[in-house]
Amino acid sequence: MAKPSRQMSRTRFKVRAERKLSPGMQEIMMLLRKNHAWAKHLKMLSMPAKMHVSVNLSEIDKMASVGDTVLVPGKVLSLGEIAKKVRICSFGISKSAREKLKKTKSQWVTIAEEIKANPKAEGIKIAA
């Protein structure tokens, strides 16, 4: 039987946030800290950079429906094609993946932009 998922304590999160050296990551950590609706994503987004996942467009295409918002806790890579119009938010994206998204009129935003645009964290699918 799997253990239930536990929320991260604010103290533990504060320690993780202080370790982030990138200004972009520090901004994301501050936004997450202030926004309680994103609390269920704290643990995944604050993990060390070497634990971030890379997701290919083909995987996103399989899991997402038209108009979905997909959260990638890492980088989006260009392997495969995407046929649906989706909104993808991640830490980074490859140049060729960005070009493929333009063909389907899909949108890519950073996680910080998504937190600002969607403060209630509604309608987000996680690709991990």
- Map out the domains of the chain as residue ranges: 10-126
User: What pLDDT, on a 0 to 100 scale, did the predictor assign at position 8?
Assistant: 67
- Which pLDDT band, with edges at 50, 70 and 90, does 3 fall under? very low
Contact 76, 89 (CB under 8 A): no
The C-alpha atoms of residue 69 and residue 51 are separated, in whole angstroms, by 22
Q: Which of 107, 57, 55 is nearest to 83 (CA)?
A: 57
Residue that the structure tokens 């649906």 belong to: 84
- Those residues with Cβ within 8 angstroms of residue 70's Cβ, 6 or more apart along the chain or in another chain: 60, 63, 64, 86, 87, 88, 89, 124, 125, 126, 127
Spatial neighbors of 84 by CB under 8 A, at least 6 apart, are 61, 64, 65, 66, 68, 104, 106
Looking at the domain 10-126, which fold is it?
Ribosomal Protein L15; Chain: K; domain 2 (3.100.10)
Indicate the average pLDDT of the chain.
85
Give the pLDDT confidence of 26-61 residue by residue, as tens digits.
787 778 778 888 878 877 877 777 888 899 999 999
Where does 6-123 show beta strands of DSSP type E? 53-56, 69-77, 87-93, 107-110
Instruction: Look up the pTM and report it.
Output: 0.79
8 Å CB contact between 94 and 72: no
For residues 127 and 21, the model is more confident at 127
**Range 11-34 average pLDDT:** 74
pLDDT band, residue 6 (cuts 50/70/90): low
